Amino acid sequence: MTEFGKPANFTRRVPDGDTQHRDVCTDCGFVHYDNPKVVAGAVVRSNGGILLCRRAIEPRVGFWTLPAGYMELNETVEQAALREAYEEAYARIEIDTLLAVYSIPRISQIQVIYRADLADPEIKPGVESLEVDLFSWDRIPWDEIAFPSVHWALNHFHEVSGQDVFAPFSNPDGETGDYPKAQRKG
Amino acid sequence: MTEFGKPANFTRRVPDGDTQHRDVCTDCGFVHYDNPKVVAGAVVRSNGGILLCRRAIEPRVGFWTLPAGYMELNETVEQAALREAYEEAYARIEIDTLLAVYSIPRISQIQVIYRADLADPEIKPGVESLEVDLFSWDRIPWDEIAFPSVHWALNHFHEVSGQDVFAPFSNPDGETGDYPKAQRKG
């Protein structure tokens, strides 16, 4: 669990005054309250194209994804989506509306995905991207998409194409966000 | 930062391979990756009434709030909203649609609030509630509402009353979720 130095020695127990089991360090007594993490991102459109980024980092190096990433402290979800688009594609975007809130319970992640517009045509790869590009719907590289939730977001985006107002999407029925077994590593 | 035992001795530094400052324990080397936390909740309607819970716990003991609380690991946002309604008011609810996604950056919190219906008229206070009740719009105790975001959610709920499909809300313009100074503790 640590990046350097002596590893923390966690044991699983219910801290005093709590009701849930937590990881508690037997060295220093630290209680690690672990909560789901929020990914903020956007389906960004520009002249009929959709912005995708080819991943330079694990997991799924070389596969295409939406500009999206973990929220940092002290920002709004919208600020996080704008920051990620800039970090991954140097894309300046304007949020249009909320497209979806997905949950991936196996990895305790929720994803808040907006529909957005590219505000400036200049894009280029950030350090976490090998390549960034705009794809028309019939050019999307479906076999090289990084994660199931990217499929969901692209399809949901397409489903409400031309609609200004719609109820945002959740996970497609029965979908949990896990990879199909054939795509899983290891 | 700890609940028992020797306090963890955290120092603020950039761990190897990271780009952000994090809290690192000088005793055991544990890196504390702190991310925004997700509150899931609902505006629950029943026969023209809205479910509110009077808080039995800090902060804001005695004030009224929506059934809502922190997501736990390995659940979906919708499951968390259902769980919280049951824990706080023994309310069995059915989610209708997403009402809002709010951000409270000062405390690194996001709130995912659904519009829901009470599926069973039986409600009673859970351990975190002193009292639970259904309020018609003109009986809502506006001066005894626990948090700014509860005001937002109630007003947004009212604004889309009778609408089946709408774009979910974000923070009202310029609002950050901080208490007005007069209401702040200490």
Share of chain A above pLDDT 70, in %: 92
Residue count (chain A)? 186
Listed in order, the ranges of chain B carrying CATH 3.90.79.10 are 37-163
Tell me if B2 and A29 make a contact (CB, 8 A cut-off).
yes
- Chain B residue numbers touching A4 (CB-CB < 8 A): 15-16, 29, 31
Q: What is the pLDDT of residue B121?
A: 94
Name, of A21-25, A177-181, B31-35, B172-176, the range with top average pLDDT: B172-176
Share of chain B above pLDDT 90, in %: 76
Q: What is the pLDDT of residue B185?
A: 43
Class in CATH terms, A1-34: mainly beta
HSE of A180, CA atoms in CB hemisphere, 13 A: 7
Output the tens digit of pLDDT for each of chain A's 186 residues: 344 445 578 888 888 777 778 888 888 888 877 889 999 999 999 999 999 999 999 999 999 999 999 999 999 999 999 999 999 999 999 999 999 999 999 999 999 999 999 999 999 999 999 999 999 999 999 999 999 999 999 999 999 999 999 999 999 999 999 876 545 443
Tell me if B74 and A9 make a contact (CB, 8 A cut-off).
no
**Separation in Å, CA of A115 to nearest CA in chain B:** 12
Cis peptide before A105 (omega within 30 of 0): no
B27 — pLDDT class (breaks 50, 70, 90):
confident
For residues B124 and B90, the answer to whether their CB atoms sit within 8 Å is yes
> Which one of 3.40.50.970, 3.90.79.10, 3.40.50.12160, 3.30.750.24 gives the CATH number of domain B37-163?
3.90.79.10
Cα separation, A116 vs B119, whole angstroms:
36
Q: For residue B112, report the phi and psi dihedrals to the nearest 5 degrees.
A: -110, 110
Average pLDDT on B22-41 reads 86
- Chain A residue numbers touching B75 (CB-CB < 8 A): 36, 103, 105
Cα–Cα nearest to A108, from B182, B72, B4: B72
Q: Over the stretch B95-152, which tens digit does the pLDDT of each residue have?
A: 999 999 999 999 999 999 999 999 999 999 999 999 999 999 999 999 999 999 999 9
Listed in order, the ranges of chain B carrying CATH 2.20.70 are 1-34
Please, where are the H alpha helices in B99-184?
A: 148-159
Q: What is the ipTM of this complex?
A: 0.87
pTM: predicted TM-score of the whole model, two decimal places: 0.88
Listed in order, the ranges of chain A carrying CATH 3.90.79.10 are 37-174
Q: Over the stretch A144-173, which tens digit does the pLDDT of each residue have?
A: 999 999 999 999 999 999 999 999 999 999
Q: Which residue of B has its CA nearest to A112?
A: B101
Q: How many other C-beta atoms are found inside a 10 Å radius of the C-beta of residue A70? A: 14
Cis peptide before A125 (omega within 30 of 0): no
Closest CB to B167: pick one of A20, A98, A110: A98
Tell me if A103 and B171 make a contact (CB, 8 A cut-off).
no
- Chain A residue numbers touching B167 (CB-CB < 8 A): 97-98, 165-166, 168
CA dihedral B29, B32, B33, B37 (to 10 degrees): 170
For residues B145 and B72, the answer to whether their CB atoms sit within 8 Å is no
Q: How many other C-beta atoms are found inside a 10 Å radius of the C-beta of residue B157? A: 21
Q: What is the pLDDT of residue A10?
A: 86
Tell me if B75 and A4 make a contact (CB, 8 A cut-off).
no
Q: How many other C-beta atoms are found inside a 10 Å radius of the C-beta of residue B125? A: 16
Q: What is the pLDDT of residue A7?
A: 59
Tell me if B25 and A8 make a contact (CB, 8 A cut-off).
yes
Q: What is the pLDDT of residue A5?
A: 44
Q: How many other C-beta atoms are found inside a 10 Å radius of the C-beta of residue A93? A: 24
pLDDT tops 80 at residue B186: no
Cα–Cα nearest to B65, from B1, B141, B2, B6: B141
Q: What is the pLDDT of residue A185?
A: 43
pLDDT tops 50 at residue B91: yes
> Which one of 1.10.8.50, 3.90.1170.50, 3.90.79.10, 3.40.50.300 gives the CATH number of domain A37-174?
3.90.79.10
Tell me if A105 and B76 make a contact (CB, 8 A cut-off).
yes
